Structure 1
Amino acid sequence: MTIASFGPQTHMCVGLLGGSFNPAHQGHVYISEMALKQMGLDQVWWLVSPQNPLKSKKGMAPLEKRVKTAAQVVKNPKIRITALETRLGTRYTADTLKALHMRYPNIRFVWIMGADNLATFHRWKDWQVIFNMCRIAIYHRPTYALKALSSITAQRFRNKRLPARMAPVLKQKDNGNWIFLPIRGNTLSATEIRNRLEHKE
């Protein structure tokens, strides 16, 4: 079943992993599979962004190529590769979440991201709105934990943070609740992969 075939009456809990995926790699797969396991999600949707407003267009592969590469990396049928933001006509995460809530009112969404994104989350458009629109799972990344947990966003929503042991029930909590999960650190990054490819390593 494709995402397009899901109707408004569909009842599921879905993790959303947004990003440029330039390119997609095993770090993305690892986080997605941990989310499926730790939080008991039905699926994880990768939202391959047409263009991240906070990232340069320089070196950004075409959307079609990034989607194709992601599909080659993913083997788990519960991880779906999408270009939903193109179909929805949205550019910013807050607008994407609003559109998804309207299209799938009965699906409970969990926004998934790495600790590096939490550290700079206050730079996102309508960042406080985003936090109140879904549940959020933050995954540890090496060297970012301290910056993330002392960030403006973490401090603003510190009263909504749940302990890691409550990961299995996060999907049942109200929007605005978030959790920090100290999983095995994965240093792999898309930037490093691109640099290696450029130097033919």
Structure 2
Amino acid sequence: MKIGLYFGSFNPIHIGHLVIANQMVENSDLDQIWFVVTPHNPFKKKSTLLDNHQRLEMVYLATKDYDTLKESDIEFNLPQPNYTVNTLAYLTEKYPDKDFSLIMGEDNLKSFHKWKNYQVILDNHHIYVYPRISTGTIETQFDNHAKIHHVEAPIMEISSTLIRNSIKAGKNIKPLLPEHVWAYLDDMNFYR
């Protein structure tokens, strides 16, 4: 089984995440997409994150009605800060019957050469890339690479930051969130 790993803080998960994941599974050879909720991204302030399990719950609520999308807390028990290369090694050992690939936006591919042990990742895993509006260029070493696959998907300019700021400002952002996630956020008074 081919699993695409979609890493993120998902603070909160929104319809843009679901659209991208669904496009990936429907328009590639991936069988499932696992939303890997990251407990702490070294590039983000930890103070802005909701509790790990609250974010995992939102991902569960957003994906529970889809057979091909699922939540994953695999990084919760790995040493922090964690790096993608370590998570991939752990998953490959834990699930030897599954073939793990990465899902990333074009913006991340542009900085992929700066990732810890990026060459190890590329040697052992495929990468599925979706379009993003961003500046900069993709390293020439990644042009026409056999393990990097560009998948057509709508360009989603929805961000979790926009959602958090809009909620704080009292704006109605309900259409940007899966119904169950909106109900959970509203009930818990998150981001207000």
TM-score by length of structure 2 reads 0.81
Counterpart for residue 141 of structure 2: 156
Within 5 A, what are the aligned runs for 1:52-201? 52-74=41-63, 75-89=65-79, 91-141=82-132, 143-144=133-134, 147=136, 150-152=137-139, 155-161=140-146, 177-201=147-171
- The equivalent position to 1:19 in structure 2, one of 8, 17, 32, is 8
Across the aligned residues of Structure 1 and Structure 2, the Cα RMSD in angstroms comes to: 1.7
**Cα distance between partner residues in 2 of 1:131 and 1:26:** 29
Q: Which residue of the other structure, out of 37, 45, 50, is the alignment partner of 1:48? A: 37
CA distance in 1 between partners of 2:47 and 2:79 (Å): 22
Mapped contact 1:97–1:133 kept (Cα < 8 A) = no
Deviations 1:160-189 (A, max 9, x none): 15xxxxxxxxxxxxxxx1012342211111
Q: Say if 2:27 and 2:151, in contact at 8 Å, map to a contact too.
A: no
- Secondary structure at the residue paired with 1:192? helix
Q: Is the 8 A contact 1:13 1:41 kept in 2?
A: yes
* Count of residue correspondences: 169
Matched AA of 2:69: I
Name the amino acid aligned to 1:14. I
Tell me the secondary structure at the aligned position of residue 87 of structure 2: helix
User: Structure 2: how far apart are the matches of 1:39 and 1:159?
Assistant: 17
Q: CA deviation at 1:156?
A: 2.3
Q: Is the Cα contact below 8 Å between 1:15 and 1:112 reproduced in 2?
A: yes
Q: Which ranges of structure 1 fall in alignment gaps of 5 or more residues?
A: 1-11, 162-176
Q: Per the alignment, in what secondary structure is the counterpart of residue 120 of structure 1?
A: helix
In 2: Cα distance, 1:195 partner to 1:115 partner: 25
Q: Which amino acid aligns with 2:164?
A: R
SS in 1 for 2:116: coil
Q: State the 4+ residue runs in structure 1 displaced beyond 6 angstroms.
A: none
With 83-92 and 47-56 compared, the bigger mean Cα shift is at 83-92
Separation in 1, partners of 2:157, 2:144: 29
* Letter aligned with residue 158 of structure 1: D
Aligned counterparts of 1:121 and 1:41: Cα–Cα separation in 2 = 21
Give the stretch that moved more between structures: 122-131 or 56-65: 122-131
Please list every run of 5 or more consecutive structure 2 residues that lacks an aligned counterpart in the other structure: 172-192
For the residue of structure 2 that corresponds to 1:45, the secondary structure is: strand
Q: Distance in 1 between matches of 2:18 and 2:100?
A: 18
